Copies of this chain bind each other. A is one copy, B any other.
Amino acid sequence: MQTRKSRASFTGRVTMADVAKEVGVSAITVSRAFRAPGKVSPELHSRIVEVSRRLGYVPSRAASALASARSMTILALIPSLTNNVFVDVLVGIKEVLDAADYQMLIAITGYDQPDAEERMLRAHLGYVPDGILLTGVDQSEAVRTMIDGQGLPTVHMMDHSDREDLWWVGYSNAEAGRAVARYLLGRGRRRIGIIASQLDPRSLRRCEGCREVLAEAGLYDPGLDLRVPDHSSIPLGAELVERLLNQAPDCDAVFVCNDDLAQGAVFQCSQRGVAVPDRLAVVGFHDLNASAWASTPLTTVRTPRYQIGREATRLLLARIEGTPTSARRIDLGFSLVRRASG
């Protein structure tokens, strides 16, 4: 029908059929030349490659995904890019994916709306990813249902879970919070505060871990526990430490649940003439790149973000391709890095 033809010519894109006609073979041969070069005679192969280049042919992933039910794409759901925590994870993911010839789809969910993860997932599931990388282990029921319904292989990152059904690569945020509290107690601090923002489940678990140990020591004081929902940032850290110091002048240490907050806190202390760590010890979290290079280098907890990205992706690809894996949960741990601030 004429009307149909006009639609085809409307897109204007060069298709496999165009290449095939030009070379004088059938489309399937062109298809094979790209997917399984070994199954096509060398000279045909090179002619096909040459003609494809000349014509500017770009294979349509949409069509390929439809026909093969494989997209060679994995989807990564990330809360945010504005502090570098997840950028490092993405770098790790991308390295492994590049090597395996997979594409990476990034969906940024944000911390704000509770249903954002569900909406972003739904929107991106349409690209028919072969697998999903999720941040954290606290997905909503709706998200779980959607993933299970599609039967999509999934690996969780950046936290720790006891659930038997989850595949994850991360570390225990709760344990990290406990470690910080013990460290500070071990250094003789007794009036230990907690500063957190954003209040995602992972930050909260760090706080809880810290609170737990302090409470056991009989040293937990809710008046020193500051948690605000705002996004974490350097200026916010400055503001919060100011507030803490005003409402509890005898506070002698603080666990700040994110390094950018902690950087701001240390900055504010120096503005205000509060000696760090003598008068106030500050311990951050994540060991962002800049933290070692602050005026007062930050004592902080280093998290293996890059490795988490790599290992989680390896695990996911193995799962997708049916390769046996030695473990389905990988705890990569954390380490307390002692520098000047605490």
A71 within 8 A of B: yes
Choose among B62, B81, B146, B150 the residue that contacts A87 (Cβ–Cβ < 8 A).
Answer: B81
Choose among B60, B81, B290 the residue that contacts A263 (Cβ–Cβ < 8 A).
Answer: B290
Is B81 a contact of A150 with CB atoms below 8 Å? Answer: no
**A240, chain B: closest CB distance, angstroms:** 14
Is B62 a contact of A61 with CB atoms below 8 Å? Answer: yes
- Which residues of B are found within 8 Å of A289, using beta-carbon distances? 233-234
Q: Which of A59-77 contact B (CB under 8 A)?
A: 59-66, 69, 71
Is A58 a contact of B125 with CB atoms below 8 Å? Answer: yes
- Which residues of B are found within 8 Å of A55, using beta-carbon distances? 149
Contact indicator per residue, chain A 119-130, by CB within 8 Å of chain B (1) or not (0): 000111111100
Is B12 a contact of A151 with CB atoms below 8 Å? Answer: yes
Which interface class (under 10, 10 to 19, 20 to 34, 35 or more) fits A?
35 or more
Is B62 a contact of A126 with CB atoms below 8 Å? Answer: yes
Is B149 a contact of A14 with CB atoms below 8 Å? Answer: yes
Of the listed stretches A100-108, A187-195, A222-230, chain B binds: A100-108
**A287, chain B: closest CB distance, angstroms:** 13
Is B105 a contact of A105 with CB atoms below 8 Å? Answer: yes
The 3 nearest A-B residue pairs measured at CB: A295-B295, A61-B126, A56-B149
A sample of 12 more A-B contacts (CB under 8 A), given A84-B84, A234-B289, A264-B293, is: A13-B151, A56-B149, A56-B150, A60-B128, A62-B65, A62-B126, A62-B127, A81-B90, A82-B87, A87-B87, A234-B293, A294-B295
What are 15 A-to-B residue pairs whose CB atoms are below 8 Å?
Answer: A7-B69, A13-B150, A56-B146, A58-B150, A59-B126, A62-B62, A62-B66, A62-B126, A81-B91, A94-B108, A103-B123, A127-B127, A235-B293, A238-B293, A290-B290
